[in-house]
Copies of this chain bind each other. A is one copy, B any other.
Amino acid sequence: MKTVKDLGERKVIEMILELLDSMPNMPVPFGDDVSAIQIDEEKLITAKVDMLVGKTDVPQGMSVRQAARKAIVMNVSDFAAKGAKPIAALVSLGLPSNLTEEEVRQIGLGLNDGAREYEIYVIGGDTNESSDLIIDCALVGICKKMNLMMRSGARPGDIVAVTGYFGKTSSGLKILLNGLFPPEELRHPLVESVLMPKARLREGLALAEIGAVTSSIDSSDGLAWSLHELSKASGVGFIIENIPVAPEVRAFAEKYALDPVDLSLYGGEEYELVVTVKPELWDKANEVLGRFKTPLIKIGKVVEEKKIKVKINGETKVVESRGWEHFKSSC
């Protein structure tokens, strides 16, 4: 009989979804970054759960405090991508019985760090005994229905853009897991991107407010994967002309003979926004993000053909749909 390891995360999710009755008139479909419940004609409750498991989500070198902070931040990033403001978090903990008092303290501090950075409060939770360290965060907020930026909605002609440069977390992970020692000016920003990720919440909320975005997702499963998800949900394709490789990643890749494009496309745990923007509102979107000193980097355009192609050095290639998958990917 097949096991979860043979099936992989995405097949498991698909199997379970098939067995669930769907809520009539769901404001946001299954599979988008947050779920929603209608409050009234104008307002939605938005909610999201995201579980951090020590053995797969906490790389060597990350402290318990950083892990707890990350459990909140990775969830905030999904709200950011939808343009929805989170208000409060509820946190379920699974703790191994040999965890120390000091580690418990560090978890409390990390949860508060993550929450307060985004003006959220932790308002409830649950504590249990488990073999792994589990920090499962449920985030709840209220948002205007018309502001919500879904994965579906990209139209041919829209501009594909991202809020930052890529490849830092995949490079940082290689440093941590393989014990590499690049010069400090490379090591620090790359490792920091893994240990202290930031969610683009202000940016997502501001973009939602001006109605410039036709589809949106965060890049937590890797840039390539995110583009494929937007493509699937919107029924369009993308031509990517500019892969936004971070300068530190270029230098790191050169030093260790790695492919900087691969590091940038197929990373993960990188929390930028990947959006499609109405061309007529491009300047306004740029101006709005400029207020936070955040770049809005044009990487390509939306096309009808449902493929994701990238132009590199005059060559056009199809971008594979691969990214991190629980049970199938190795840590």
A interface with B by C-beta (< 8 Å): 1-7, 9, 12-13, 15-23, 26, 30, 34-37, 39, 43, 45, 47-51, 53, 55-57, 87-88, 90-102, 104-105, 107-109, 111-112, 115-116, 121-132, 134, 136, 138, 140, 142, 326-327
Measured between alpha carbons, how far is A49 from B91 in the docked complex, in Å? 7
Contact A97 B5 (CB under 8 A): yes
- Of the candidates A6, A97, A126, the one having the most CB atoms from chain B within 10 angstroms of its own CB is A126
Given contacts A47-B47, A131-B132, 9 further A-B contacts (CB under 8 A): A16-B125, A20-B108, A36-B123, A37-B123, A53-B128, A94-B130, A129-B327, A130-B130, A136-B136
Measured between alpha carbons, how far is A262 from B94 in the docked complex, in Å? 29
- Of the candidates A6, A91, A130, the one having the most CB atoms from chain B within 10 angstroms of its own CB is A130
- A309 → B minimal CB distance (Å): 30
Contact A50 B126 (CB under 8 A): yes
Measured between alpha carbons, how far is A130 from B12 in the docked complex, in Å? 14
> Given the interface contacts A3-B99, A20-B111, does A138 sit within 8 Å of B26 by beta carbon?
no
- A187 → B minimal CB distance (Å): 29
Pick from B7, B34, B56, B131: contact of A124, CB below 8 A.
Answer: B34
Q: Which residue of B lies closest to A7 (CB)?
A: B101
Measured between alpha carbons, how far is A308 from B45 in the docked complex, in Å? 41
Q: Which residues of B contact A131 (CB under 8 A)?
A: 55, 130-132
- A302 → B minimal CB distance (Å): 27
Q: Which residue of B lies closest to A87 (CB)?
A: B37
Q: Which residues of B contact A9 (CB under 8 A)?
A: 127-129
